[in-house]
Chain A
Amino acid sequence: MRTDDRPERRDMILEVAGLTMRFGGLTAVDAVSFVAHRGDITALIGPNGAGKTTVFNCITGFYRPSDGAIRLHVPGALPVELHALAGHEIARAGVARSFQNIRLFPGMTALENLLIAQHNTLMAASGWGIGAVLGLSRYPRAEREAIEKARRWLDATRLIERADDPAGALPYGAQRRLEIARAMCTDPSLLCLDEPAAGLNPRESDELAQLLLSIRASGTSILLIEHDMGVVMRISDKVVVLDHGKLIAADAPAAVRADPRVIAAYLGQDEPEDTAA
């Protein structure tokens, strides 16, 4: 019924429907469907090789799905078909991501990294380069605003002291935070984080959890892949579990933790149909 349908629709930020990704004969992701709600932290978990990063790469435009649809629902606009967009257009549509192996611009300062994230706004303000070269545009003000925004995120990630240091010279944990700050500088409606807690010590993962909660509080929805179950169970509103490319559970953290199929997948216990095969 329509009336039941509506609130669900309004709350949705990301809708993945029948997503399938084949690499040659290998089906890495097999007809996965799930929904992420606005203002939620949705975690994508699963054993190694379950297809989490493949789903991620489809959502963020690094792979083109073999089948299925991915839609981004931004309030006050028509749903955006992410699977039909080119890589850079997805970021413009409001999806930002971080990478499993950090991908900063190592030879540029932390501040410069955050300004590159605001490239599209700045580029428009600079009259596509031409106006700004001739000094004819409102570029200086736009740049001041961009630096102000970068400063806010540097403050939020406690990197303000290192603003003028090259990103490649920052310690590992700081690079992770800078990558999140950089993604946030694109003003995303959905932030996708690929194992943000990997390689962090317990104190750093605690800080990361706090940072993610504050990002959620500011209104950005988060989709994250994570192996650190402590972080996942503590901050997620919903957990989506993949195993061998198939969706096996999508529920609140407590329910997922109790799900026998999830436990089986994580403990490597053979599923009934596997033993039969």
Chain B
Amino acid sequence: MNPAAALRDAGLAALVAFGLFAPLVGLRTDVSPTGGLFLRTRWTDVAILCGLVFAGRFLLSLWTGRRGLRPTAGPTPWTARLERLSTFVAPALLGLALVLPFIPGVERYELDIGILVLTYVMLGWGLNIVVGLAGLLDLGYVAFYAIGAYAYALLATTFGLSFWVCLPLAGILAAFWGVLLGFPVLRLRGDYLAIVTLAFGEIIRVVLINWTSLTGGPNGISGIPRPSFFGLPFDASGDPGTFAGFFGLEPSPWHRVVFLYYLILALALLTNWVTIRLRRQPLGRAWEALREDEIACRALGINVTTTKLSAFALGAMFGGFAGAFFATRQAFISPESFTFIESAIILAIVVLGGLGSQVGVAIAALVMIGGFELFRNLEEWRMLVFGAAMVVIMVLRPRGLVGTRTPTVALGQKRAISGDLVSEGHG
């Protein structure tokens, strides 16, 4: 774009800005000392804002004009670089996760963040089955997290069942609810599916708040039993019946944290292992085919109903596992932990990581949750930083961090498939 055109373009943008800012910023009602309202004008501020818009737009037009328009399709050097990197990233991250508690300098606080990040990695991987592989947009994933958490809390506090009995039960219950949600939404696609799943998430939360006799309502459930090391409780007493006593260690609260850390690491890796294995098998391939073209799937004899339900159920099951873990770690749960924002964060992790990519989701969870904690001292500004970072990622890598798809099988060499060919699913 030549300077004259850029100038004209910037002038137009400034005019639009003036139209917006004149009433919004220029005019302001204030309370006068006498108590009446009076109108205060701030034309200097408006001028400054319009000037900024003008300058910004002018520079932007010049910049894009100089660079010229580039086609967005085709692998960018970024993609190739990230691909090469990702072969090392996954083992490196796994190694780091395995030794984290023994790295000098890792204290309680760091390990707690590690547990939090891994919880979201697991939730992200669980949701990845539904959204990334099967292409069903689920905005109410937190409901299964809540079901898992409440299932463990209620079973443990009412019947005194141990964590290891409750964990599979929580997963099965969540999977059951996943199927229950799946049935009515089977025929819905895209936006409609998103709305219904969103409503499902809210319904579960509202029921948890209002069914006071069972769930304790907004007060939640407290005194949830902490997990034991296969029957040996973590206790400060040092009795032979406790973890510390049995292994002849000095009793320390550190043991429990490390145990919780490895527990969630194991659960997350289980999710990952199952997903990776299923992806290379007919069921996983059918999920991906469903995302690509549902009608073609039907013509090939794939039962679309059961395939969709299996994706819902499996995703929900891992959400339920994560929920049970959450309950045992916190020892207290209330409906407040299962608001829509949680669903949104998990979905954001999956989308930012790249739909269907396991490594991408793990990195996105690390960056989003870990980064969020890291910038805690920025206080309310961190939301802004966070939003800006998300926008930047989506502009630079619209298909997520790992936007390519790896084939599940190949006659020769597996080559990554560009994200432009892979569909996101229509619900």
Contacts and interface: CB of A to CB of B under 8 A. Distances in A.
A119 B297 CA distance: 10
B133 to A, nearest CB: 12
A108 interface: yes
Interface stretch (A40-48, A162-170, A230-238, A264-272): A162-170
A117 B302 CA distance: 8
B422 interface: yes
Nearest to A102: B296
Given A109-B407, A111-B409, A112-B409, A104 B285 contact: no
Contact of A88 (B282, B302, B415, B423): B302
Given A91-B299, A104-B296, A119-B302, A129 B409 contact: no
Contacts of A90: 301
Contacts of B285: 108, 112, 115-116, 119
Given A99-B296, A119-B282, A129-B281, A109 B410 contact: yes
B417 A166 contact: yes
B222 interface: no
Interface stretch (B82-90, B117-125, B232-240, B286-294): B286-294
Interface in B257-310: 274, 277-278, 281-283, 285-286, 288-289, 292-293, 295-304, 310
A97 interface: yes
A54 interface: no
A91 B293 CA distance: 16
Contact of B292 (A61, A108, A151, A160): A108
B409 A106 contact: no
Contacts, number: 137
Given A119-B301, A126-B282, A166-B421, A106 B292 contact: yes
B302 A116 contact: yes
Given A105-B292, A119-B302, A122-B282, A133 B411 contact: no
Contacts of A106: 292-293, 421-423
B282 A108 contact: no
A103 B281 contact: no
Contacts of A176: none
A60 B277 CA distance: 33
A188 to B, nearest CB: 10
A107 interface: yes
Interface in A121-167: 122-123, 126, 128-129, 132-133, 139, 143, 147, 151, 160, 163-166
B187 interface: no
Contacts of B414: 164
A104 B421 CA distance: 11
B282 A129 contact: yes
A221 interface: no
B76 interface: no
B405 interface: yes
A107 B292 contact: yes
A7 to B, nearest CB: 31
A176 B351 CA distance: 33
Contacts of B278: 129, 133
B298 A111 contact: no
A86 to B, nearest CB: 8
A111 B283 contact: no
A96 B299 contact: yes
A116 B409 contact: no
B412 interface: yes
Nearest to B422: A107
Contacts of A122: 281-282
B78 to A, nearest CB: 20
B281 A132 contact: yes
Nearest to B273: A133
Given A103-B295, A106-B421, A107-B423, A164 B300 contact: no
B292 A91 contact: no
Given A119-B285, A129-B283, A132-B281, A60 B299 contact: yes
A151 B409 CA distance: 13
A163 B407 CA distance: 11
B282 A105 contact: no
A129 B304 contact: no
A18 interface: no
Nearest to B413: A164
Contacts of A61: 298
A116 B286 contact: yes
25 contacts: A62-B298, A87-B304, A99-B295, A103-B299, A104-B293, A105-B293, A107-B405, A108-B292, A108-B405, A111-B407, A112-B409, A116-B289, A119-B282, A119-B301, A126-B283, A128-B283, A129-B310, A132-B281, A133-B278, A143-B409, A164-B410, A164-B412, A168-B421, A182-B300, A183-B300
**Closest 10 A/B residue pairs (Cβ):** A107-B422, A91-B301, A105-B292, A168-B421, A122-B282, A129-B283, A103-B296, A87-B298, A123-B282, A166-B417
Given A103-B296, A108-B288, A119-B285, 15 more contacts: A88-B302, A92-B301, A99-B296, A99-B299, A106-B293, A107-B292, A107-B423, A109-B407, A115-B282, A116-B300, A120-B301, A129-B278, A133-B277, A164-B411, A186-B301
